[in-house]
Chains A and B, each alone.
Chain A
Amino acid sequence: MSVLDHAPVLVVVLPLLTAPIIALLRSARVAGVATFVVAALDAALAFVLFARTLDGSVISYAMGGWAPPIGIEYRIDLLSAVMACLTSFSAALVAWFLPVSIAPEVTPGDRPRLFAAFLLCLAGLTGMVVTGDLFNVFVFLEISSLATYVLIAAGAGRDRRALTAAFDYLILGAVGATFVVIGIAFLYVVTGTLNMADLGNRLPLAGKRAGVVGASFLFVGLALKTAMMPLHRWLPNAYTFAPAAVTTFLAMTATKVALYLMIRLAVLVFGTPDEIGRINFATVLPPIGLVMLIAGSALAVVSADLKRLLAFSSIANLGLMLVALGLGGAAGIAAALVNLINHAVIKGGMFATVAGIVHRRGSSRMDSLAGLSREMPFAFVFLMIGGMGLIGVPLTAGFVSKLLVVKTAFDLGQTMIAAGVLLSSLISVVYVWRIVEACMIAKPAKPGRRHDVHPIFAAPMALLGVGTLALGIEGGPLLDVATRIAAALTGGAS
């Protein structure tokens, strides 16, 4: 048996076990390099999983050799593999510039422990997408959440409001996670099993009521983690005050994994792509998603801080994903997945650029961006590519995302949804214009010399920026993978 046969578990265990070792390292420099190496190795393992599931096969890994459903099963299909790739590649990209980016905020002595929290967060997020066991989902949810609170609080070195942002998220996140355990308890009472596939087999037979209650608890808990309005309160402050590198990682992964869980639970446990218990995606998600789209975009327009602006834009884009999911069936899931990946690439590129800007200028407030286009042209170009992506200009990934949602909505006769998406695009023109205005038109207090981002930021910025364009120019392969995933999840019916 080769080592790679253990990839399903290694992809979680590697960052989980190296985190405490890295926490004990004395040298912040060594710890930083080690963090990147671990994240990169993890990405390689996730890619192995992707390569092995691309043909549609499902890997079932019995933990400790105990056969499921008694033992804990790690179950990896193409969707899990794609999500594992998303979390680990994001982590590798962020770990590349994390040590430089947080240097002004965190003392060298604290840095190894921060890197450890970063790897624990990665382990938790990856664990959630590969496990086939419902209680495992809760444990990994808490591992990633606890690490996230610590990572957000690390922003206190620049702005003490990071502490209250982290505390607020801790309270809400803990309540949300507890809702998830309550939901799991009800489902376990009804079925006597925690294996998700086994739950799916038994649930339709069992008494419905407790199952419906459990499903509702699960949905609300996950809605909080997805930052679904009105449970989004934690997100703007968390994204604004966390260190910029941490924000990059969270924006690329955290809310997306919660959305993944929603899809996974609906399909695997409740046996339909359109419902969790009695909560019907088609009736619940489009209205909430449309409100998030419009309100998120509008709040982005009035934000005085670039990170806050992008955070509200993230809420709007999560709304778009929920709307896509609410369209229902295989087409809806495919559209949601394409949106999920595209937005991770666009927003990751923008936040990585913001990290580079904050590293030079010490602030991401809109008024501190003055003169950026002359003094940091490289950063400005990538900010613009991302901005175009957020609007949905053709030849960017955002265009493909929005076109897909609008087209699917028209195909299903949902013209209201299509109109809402287009309206939000108009509002996003306004907030992207505000970035242009702050960078190009606003006069700096004193003109500085040209001083672009630290070179270490260049590689992730360029990769994600080029990715934004590449996914926009050739959207076929991603759509193909998403369609295949959706078809497999819904049993071939599309």
Chain B
Amino acid sequence: MKDLVGLFPYWAVALLMMTGLYIVIAQGNLVKKLIGLGIFQVSVFVLYIAMGVVSGGTPPILETGFVTYSNPLPSVLILTAIVVGVATLAVGLALAVRIRESFGTVEEDELLPLTEPEAPADAEPHA
């Protein structure tokens, strides 16, 4: 019980991580895949932030009277990772839009016959 409550953030991380990864693998819709990827990445953000917390600690601001404060480094690192996540999502969605324009679908099972190695090489009309 103590583990369940005390390690709650990490249970949440594991749950989010597996949910995200499952969506990436199981979903055939490219946009849903990206959503799964987003959830997967968010779980890592939580992992970093949770490990920086010091129990009883204050935010890491120098002020007289406060001696215990949380580790700011993981939060700073994760700012970078959030930016990376946003960029990945942006590139991914841009590609999904182009795929939709070019193939007329973002469903993986409909894309498969159009993208196999032997399919005819059509140039993308918008390029």
Contacts and interface: CB of A to CB of B under 8 A. Distances in A.
Interface of A: 105-107, 135, 138-139, 142, 146, 149-150, 153, 156-167, 170-171, 174-175, 177-178, 181-182, 185, 188-189, 237, 240, 303-305, 308, 363, 365
Given A159-B122, A305-B117, 15 more contacts: A153-B98, A157-B127, A161-B114, A163-B124, A167-B30, A167-B99, A170-B91, A171-B24, A171-B33, A174-B92, A178-B40, A178-B41, A181-B44, A182-B47, A188-B74
Contacts of A175: 21, 24, 37, 40
A165 B127 CA distance: 16
A163 B99 contact: yes
Contacts of A308: 117
The 9 lowest CB-CB distance pairs between A and B, nearest first, are A157-B127, A156-B124, A160-B124, A160-B102, A159-B121, A142-B84, A167-B95, A164-B115, A161-B115
Which of A150, A167, A177, A237 neighbours the largest number of chain B CB atoms within 10 Å of its CB? Answer: A167
A305 B122 CA distance: 15
A171 B37 CA distance: 7
Interface of B: 21, 24, 30, 33-34, 37, 40-41, 44, 47-48, 51, 74, 77, 80-81, 84, 87-88, 91-92, 95-96, 98-99, 102-103, 111, 114-115, 117-119, 121-124, 127
Contact of A185 (B41, B47, B96, B123): B47
Contacts of A107: 127
A365 B117 CA distance: 10
Contacts of B51: 185, 188-189
Contacts of B119: 161
Nearest to B126: A156
Contact of A167 (B41, B74, B92): B92
Given A161-B119, A163-B124, A171 B44 contact: no
Given A171-B33, A308-B117, A185 B40 contact: no
A446 B91 CA distance: 43
A189 B124 CA distance: 47
A346 B21 CA distance: 37
Given A164-B115, A189-B51, A149 B91 contact: yes
Contacts of A178: 40-41, 44
Contacts of B34: 171
A164 B123 contact: no
Contact of B122 (A146, A160, A165): A160
Given A149-B91, A153-B95, A170-B91, A105 B121 contact: no
Nearest to A164: B115
Given A171-B33, A185-B44, A363-B121, A156 B102 contact: yes
A146 B114 CA distance: 25
A170 B88 contact: yes
Nearest to A153: B95
B95 A160 contact: no
A142 B77 CA distance: 14
A459 B48 CA distance: 49
A170 B95 contact: yes
Nearest to B36: A171
A157 B124 contact: yes
A142 B45 CA distance: 16
A352 B15 CA distance: 46
Contacts of A303: 117
Contacts of B123: 156-160
A333 to B, nearest CB: 30
A146 B91 contact: yes
19 contacts: A139-B84, A142-B84, A146-B84, A146-B88, A146-B91, A149-B95, A156-B98, A157-B127, A159-B122, A159-B123, A160-B122, A161-B115, A163-B102, A167-B92, A170-B91, A171-B34, A175-B40, A178-B41, A303-B117
